[in-house]
Amino acid sequence: MATYAFYKYQGAGNDFILIDNRNLLFDKDNVDLVHRLCDRRFGIGADGLMLLQPVDGYDFEMVYFNADGREGSMCGNGGRCIVAFARDLGIIGKTTDFLAVDGPHHAEIDDEERRVSLQMIDVDVIERDGAAYVLDTGSPHYVALVDGLASFPVVAEGKRIRFNGRYGAAGINVNFVEPEGPGYYVRTYERGVEDETLACGTGATAVAIAMAVHEGKSGSLVVPIRVAGGNLTIRFKKNGNHCTDVFLEGPAKFVFKGEITV
């Protein structure tokens, strides 16, 4: 048996278990353990679990696991939450540079509003799958425009696309989008969770970039994204299909902390 101290954070409804693993004692290779901790009925419950670890040359390392217990690709809202966690631990001030699975990330914190602005990777490759767009924003994403998104069968259609042969065993995250005012309404089926989540940061980023391509926009862009769990903002510079200075902005809030013995 082992006892772990944990913290719960959420970013626009994406919820995460965070563990301070600077002592490197957490058994991160134990897929069943991570899966049990993320289980909403038999564990703590979360969309994913993150370890904050030491690493040379950066303030910390983010190690992210999907709810299925397996180490995942980059999680944007998770990245914003671990930045807030590091701030609450006193590891960082209002800015940070940390390492994630897709490389270095810079982030800035607005303490008053508890908002985190996280720099994402540059995007150069935007492909098509029929009418949909396919791109990687730290995680691979499929972006499709639909009508009547509020009643759209996101789980059924998302699962069908996620598991189709084109994307192989690894699959892909699936985003459905509908224009809304100056921005977009987005619903996402996430691989690893294998369900719709209340938000997806890399997905919101992918949608903002894909829609800029779809509408032929260039220059410095600010794109509001509404998700079931709240609101996000994507800022980036676009020159052709080359997108740089990409920032994902939104809330990152502490929910509760505790201990669990497993």
Q: How many other C-beta atoms can be found within 10 angstroms of the C-beta atom of residue 167?
A: 18
Q: How far apart are CA 106 and CA 114, in angstroms?
A: 17
What does the alpha-carbon distance between residue 13 and residue 9 come to, in Å, rounded to a whole number? 9
The sign of the CA dihedral 132, 137, 141, 147 is negative
First-to-last alpha carbon distance for the chain, in angstroms, is 5
Looking at 38, 75, 81, 243, which residue is catalytic?
Answer: 75
Q: What DSSP designation does 115 have?
A: E
Q: Is 75 a catalytic residue?
A: yes
CA angle at 44 for the pair 58 and 226, rounded to the nearest 5°? 70
Kindly provide the residue ranges of all beta strands, DSSP E only, lying in the chain, ordered along the sequence.
3-11, 14-20, 48-53, 61-66, 95-100, 103-110, 115-119, 126-129, 132-136, 140-145, 173-180, 183-190, 195-197, 219-227, 230-239, 242-251, 253-261
Compute the distance between CA of residue 163 and CA of residue 127 in angstroms, rounded to an integer: 18
For residue 14, list its beta bridge partners: 11
Q: Which of 38, 81, 200, 243 is catalytic?
A: 200
H runs (alpha helix) in 39-153: 76-89
- Catalytic residue annotation: 75, 200
